[in-house]
Amino acid sequence: MRSTGVQWREQMNPKLKLALSSLLALILLSGLCFAAGKAFSDDEIFDRVRRDLAGDPLVRGGALTVEVKDGVVTLKGTVDEQKAKARAEKLTKKVRGVKSVVNQLVTKK
Candidates 72, 60, 57, 80; CA nearest to 103 is 72
User: What is the average pLDDT value for the chain, to the nearest integer?
Assistant: 82
The domain 42-107 is placed in CATH, from the list 3.40.50.970, 2.40.30.10, 3.30.1340.30, 3.90.1010.10, at 3.30.1340.30
Which pLDDT belongs to residue 71?
94
pLDDT over 60 (residue 1)? no
- Please report the DSSP string for the chain in residue order: ----TTHHHHHS-HHHHHHHHHHHHHHHHHHHHHHHHPPPPHHHHHHHHHHHHHT-TTTTTSEEEEEEETTEEEEEEEESSHHHHHHHHHHHHHSTT--EEEEEEEE--
pLDDT over 70 (residue 9)? no
At 93, the pLDDT band (50, 70, 90 cuts) reads very high
Angle, alpha carbons 58-96-71 (nearest 5°): 95
